[in-house]
Structure 1
Amino acid sequence: MPPTSPVDPHDFTPAGFRDRVARALPRLSDGEAEASDFDLNPELGQHVGRAIAAARPAAVLIPAIARPTVTLLFTQRTQHLSAHAGQIAFPGGKTEPFDADPLATALREAREEIGLDAGLATPLGALARYHTGTGYSITPVIALVDPAFTPVIDANEVADTFEVPLPFLMDGANYQRHTRSIGGKDRHFYAVPFGKRFIWGATAGILRTMQRRLFAS
C-alpha cells in the first residue's frame, strides 16, 4: 500500500476529508478483501478460503458527519438481538436481491436503522471488502453526511447513536489488540475504546483498515 501524505488538520475538515478519500479510494470498490477477522488469527488461515467462498454479501455505511471537524456516527445495537447484541456498529446489513450495489445496500440500511435520507449523504468511496468470522463479506461505504441530520432510530435494532471525532479514529496509537477465549481457543481482535464506548470486532477492524488506507504514513 503506498504511503499517504502527512496528516494535516485540514484533512479532518469536510473538504479536506473528501479530498483525501478521493485520492486514496475509488468511487466504489468490489475487489478482493483488504482485511478480515482472520488477520490477527493466522492459525485459522486454512479456513479463510472456505469462509470467503461461502460469505454472504453485506454493506455498511460509514457516516462522516460534516462538522467543522468531521465525526463518524455509530450505532449501539439493542440487547435483545439474536446476533451481536449490544455491540457498536455502523448502520448496515446483508445485501438483498433488489439492491443494485453495495451503496444501495448501505443507504437502504441507514435509512431503516437511523432514518438517514439518501439526499443528505454524499458517497465518497468504498473500502475493499471486510470478511467476518460470522460469514459476511462487508463492503464499507464512506459518505459525507449533512450535519443537519438528526438520527431517528429503529428502536427494534438500535438502542443509541453517538459520534466520535475523526482525528481520534484515524490515529493508529488509539488501537489496541485484545484477546478473548472463544470455544476454548484464544481469538485476537482490534479495539478502539472511546470514553465509555468499547468499539471492537469487525467495526474496529474496518476502522483500522480505513485508518491505514487513508492516514498511514
Structure 2
Amino acid sequence: MQAAALPADGQENDAPEYGDHRLNAGLVTKMERSAAREAAVLVPVVDRDEGATVILTTRTRALRKHSGQVAFPGGAVDPADASPEAAAMREAFEEIALDPAYVTPVGRLPRYLTTTGFRITPIVAIVAPGFTSKPNPAEVDDVFEVPLGFLMDAANHRREAREFEGLLRHYYAMPFGERLIWGVTAGILRTLYERYYA
C-alpha cells in the first residue's frame, strides 16, 4: 500500500460515503444521514518483515451490541478528540493497550455509513513491530492479526445475506480459520480493496 494514495491526516475526505447502503439501498435510505453519530476506527497495518498484517479484535460477548463480532479498534468520536485520528488512537489504546508511539496514521478511507446510525472514519495506520497488546476485558475478548494479502484477495470476499429487522440484509464476509470477519469490518476492508487493490 502506498501512503500517498490516501488522504493525508487532518484532511477532509470528500469521496462519496461507502457503507451498508451500497448493498442494501432500500434498508439504509430511510436513515437520516445528517443525524448519524461520528465514529472512528483504526485500521492498523503491522509492518512485518514476513508480510504486512492487520490487527483485529473479537468483541466481548458481554457487550449489549455486536457482541462476539470481529472488529477494528475504535468507537465514537468524543468532543475532546482533536480529530478522527485522535479518536481512533485513543480507542485503540483503551481497547487493546496499543501504544501510540508504535502507530503512524497515514490517511483516511471514505467514511462508512452503517445501518446502526454511525458515520465511521477509518484511519489507516502503519504499526511498527515490537508493540504489545492487552485486551480490555470489558470490551475485547481477543486480539489477533490477519495477513493483509489475505484480506486484499477478492477470492476471500463473499457476499452473504441474513434477515435484519424483517428485511434481508446483504453484506461482505471474509472467513479466516474459525473466525468470520463480516458486516462493517468486512465492508471497510472491502472499501480498502476497491479503492487501492482492485
TM above 0.5: yes
Q: 1:43: Cα distance to partner?
A: 2.2
- Preserved contact between residue 31 and residue 129 of structure 1 (Cα < 8 Å): no
Distance in 2 of aligned mates of 1:87 and 1:46: 25
2:74 is aligned, of 79, 92, 109, to 92
1:199 to 176, 181, 192: 181
TM-score by length of 1: 0.86
* The one of 24, 38, 50 aligned to 1:41: 24
Residues 189 and 200 in structure 1, CA contact (< 8 A), matched pair in contact too: yes
Q: CA deviation at 1:25?
A: 1.1
Which amino acid in the other structure matches residue 54 of structure 1?
A: A
The aligned amino acid for 1:36 is: G
Q: Give the deviation of 1:181 after TM superposition.
A: 0.9
Distance 1:103 1:184 in 2: 36
Q: In the alignment, what sits opposite 1:4?
A: none
- Aligned to 1:162, the other structure's residue is in SS state strand
How many Å separate the matches in 2 of 1:65 and 1:133?
Answer: 30
CA distance in 2, matches of 1:183, 1:44: 10
CA distance in 2, matches of 1:171, 1:101: 31
More helix by share: 1
Offset of residue 45 of structure 1: 5.5
Number of aligned residues: 195
Q: Which runs of 5+ in 1 are unaligned?
A: 1-16
Corresponding letter in the other structure for 1:206: I
- 1-side partners of 2:156 and 2:140: how far apart? 26
Q: Which residue of 1 aligns with 2:35?
A: 54
Distance 2:15 2:76 in 1: 18
Against the structure 1 CA distance between its residues 46 and 139, is the aligned structure 2 distance closer, same or farther, given a 3 Å change threshold? Answer: closer
Alpha carbon RMSD of aligned pairs, Å?
1.3
Alignment correspondent of 2:104? 122
User: Which residue of the partner structure matches residue 30 of structure 1?
Assistant: 13
Distance 2:146 2:101 in 1: 23
Contact kept? 1:129, 1:137, Cα under 8 Å: yes
* Conserved? CA contact 1:33–1:130, under 8 Å: no
1:131-170, aligned counterparts within 5 Å? 131-170=113-152
Of 39, 42, 46, the match for 1:65: 46
**Match 1:174 to one of 152, 156, 159:** 156
Which contiguous aligned blocks of 4+ residues in structure 1 show a shift greater than 2 angstroms? 28-34, 42-46
CA–CA distance in structure 1, aligned partners of residues 35 and 95 of structure 2: 26
Unpaired runs of at least 5, structure 2: none
3-state SS in 2 of match to 1:63: strand
What are the superposed Cα offsets for residues 8-46 of structure 1, whole Å, 9 maximum, x if unpaired? xxxxxxxxx3xx232x21113433543111111122363
Deviation (angstroms), 1:147: 1.2
In structure 2, distance between residues paired with 1:137 and 1:42? 16
Rounded to whole Å, the distance in 2 between the matches of 1:158 and 1:46 is: 32
Displacement after TM superposition at 1:183 (Å): 2.1
- Verify the 8 A CA contact 1:33 1:131 in the aligned structure 2: no
Distance 1:114 1:31 in 2: 30
